Amino acid sequence: MSLKSWFPIHPKSHFSLANIPFGIISTPNSNTPRPAVAIGDHALDLAVFAAGSGFSHLPSIQPHLSVFDKPTLNDFAALGHRLHREVRRYLQEVFQENTRFPVLSNSSTLKDSCIFPLKDITTHCPLQIGDYTDFYAGKNHAYNAGALFRGPKDALQPNYTHLPVGYHGRASSVVVSGTPIRRPWGQILENPKVDPKVPIFAPSRRLDFELELGAFVCRANNMGEPVPIGEARDSLFGVVLMNDWSARDIQAWEYMPLGPFNGKNFGTTISAWVVLSDALQPFLSKSIENDTKLLPYLEDNKENVYDINLEVDMTTQWSETTTITRTNAQNLLFSFPQMLAHHSITGCPMQVGDLLGSGTISGMDHGTQGSLLEQSQNGTTEIKLNAGERRTFLEDFDTVTLRGWAGSQDGALVGFGECVGRIEPAISLQ
């Protein structure tokens, strides 16, 4: 349902009143990172808003106002879903037409001191990430990639439909949208068909993006105590767009027998604004059908993934932009609650701020695949871009932009903003 506001919000804005995503910003007035929410083309500085008694009509947050002075959202996330919901609904009411709480609409002083155009702010990584785990829940991507290397018959491993396959990533290289990504060096095989197999040391020649979603944990569990599937959704703070950059040639040589390492650890980009679980609740949808009978600890509600439209743009060095992917987040076999339940079933202690990646999200049709690996058939088919350029993998100075939004009604779109990364040339090691 579209909510009307006294504040100017374009009806096509992904940061509608139905959304209220949270992030970390700094402004021309202060370079200190602190929490904010996005509203239309603006950001509300929650530190200034709280200091100016903006939350005076929300008693439940009063003992916790210090969370809005922190440089990350971890402390706010740790407050739990009830307070997330109350703060979000309160802010919706503050901006709503004929609001009961005119703390901003009737105070030009407070309004001018805490609302900034998005173009004038700097965004920062929204949470301090202690651990990062990337899953492989995009069944179409898993099949497409597996078929390229093992053939259609053996595309999916026997375990694939029984559990959310994943691996531990590198939290220190998760960066916020807009951060440049340096082309990595590594060991690669120039010709994998030649024996003996002797690698060379060179910058990656098969650099790729991966279209994913990421979810943040907001509730810790004790070591030895799994998170039950029925409680897993309440342990998740919200969702971001995620690009898990991949050096396919480095990964191909190194991944046997222990899986990805340097081919994946050089950079992962996330969008700056965390869309809360409550904002996405109306868009819960059915995942890809799984004919496998799951073990009880993974059994989840049928509507357990999100109906989120996803797009990928590639912009070349010459500023020509082509939309190369259009797909939907329903193309997942497992949900984030299932990923969390599986991750913790051994008693693994999850912490507030831990990041879970969905795995690459792809459809089955041309133009719906979430990686160049699939679109170029592992480099054998060129992808046509606007202005006559072609690609099989990413070249230096290419920019990849992910976008995502849920809903179709004007004034009620729930989106993530952009997740942007530009490829910088490999550093000189000579």
Q: Which residues are catalytic?
A: 141
- How wide is the angle at C-alpha 190 spanned by C-alphas 187 and 191, nearest 5°? 130
Contact between residue 138 and residue 331 where contact means Cβ atoms under 8 Å apart: yes
DSSP code for 96: B
Residues 6+ apart with CB under 8 A from 430: none
Encoded tokens for 406: 């849920």
Q: What's the distance, CA 309 to chain centroid? A: 13
88-97: b (≥16 Cβ within 10 Å) or e: bebbbebbbe
Taking alpha carbons only, the member of 275, 281, 374 closest to residue 327 is 374
Cβ 325 vs Cβ 208: under 8 Å: no
| Residue 316 one-letter amino acid | T
Identify which of 220, 224, 217 has the alpha carbon closest to the alpha carbon of residue 240. 217
Which residues on neighbouring strands pair with residue 98, listed in sequence order? none
Cβ(327)–Cβ(375) below 8 Å:
no
What the block records as the tokens of 183 is 């082309």
Residue given tokens 């009806």 in the structure block: 11
How many other CB atoms are found less than 10 A from the CB of residue 338?
25
Please check whether residue 174 is in contact with residue 268, taking contact to mean a CB–CB distance below 8 angstroms. yes
Distance CA 120, CA 122 (A): 7
What type of residue sits at position 118? L
* DSSP-derived 3-state class of residue 118: helix
Query: Do the beta carbons of residue 170 and residue 265 sit within 8 Å?
Result: yes
- How far is the C-alpha of 2 from the C-alpha of 221, rounded, in Å? 37
**Residues β-bridged to residue 187:** 201
Let me know: does 68 contact 75? Beta carbons within 8 Å: no
**132-135 and 355-357 strand pairing:** parallel
